[in-house]
Amino acid sequence: MSESEISIIQKKYLLLQQKYSLPEYHLLDKELEISSLDSPYYMLKQIRKKIHHMIEFYSEIIEDLLQPNASIAQMHEYRFFTEKSKEKIYHIYRDLMYKSRNATELGILNDPEKDAEFIKRFFSEYFVIKDEMVKIFTTLKNSWKKELDKDIRVEYFG
């Protein structure tokens, strides 16, 4: 994408930002890379879709954590969360699923004002969600540096 196309996207966003009181361009660009949008047309819809994609990614990871299948990786990681932390993670999951279903509904409605409201609402809560996801991913990552009891390791293959 050329420099002029990026500036067209930024200019279009700034107009939408003024009209709908949206978050700062640089915030959305840092978190969603909106400068890489294909086109300045239907920008609110494109941003909603990027948010929806992020929500779906987080939801899938959490779902696999809360309801592991026969995957060795999922079973391994599941063991490193307490029941209390799983409850908290489930509340995050419920919130993400609500947001996901809301984004899907907005795709059907195709209303720029409702897309703008969704974007504003999401980014008013985003950094709390992001902080929680960082904690979850840190635990997932660190689980691979910790040893499990020999009996538990054998269980995976038994």
Q: What is the pTM of this model?
A: 0.88
pLDDT of 6 over the 80 cut:
no
Q: What pLDDT sits at residue 113?
A: 98
pLDDT at 128 over 70: yes
65 CB-near residues (< 8 Å, 6+ apart) = 74, 77, 78, 81, 86, 89, 136, 140
pLDDT in tens, 88-109: 999 999 999 999 999 999 999 9
Q: Kindly state the average pLDDT of the residues 15-20.
A: 98
The first and second tokens of residue 31, run together, are 């978190």
What's the pLDDT tens digit per position in 58-96? 999 999 999 998 888 999 999 999 999 999 999 999 999
- The answer to whether residues 43 and 8 touch, using CB atoms and an 8 Å cutoff, is no
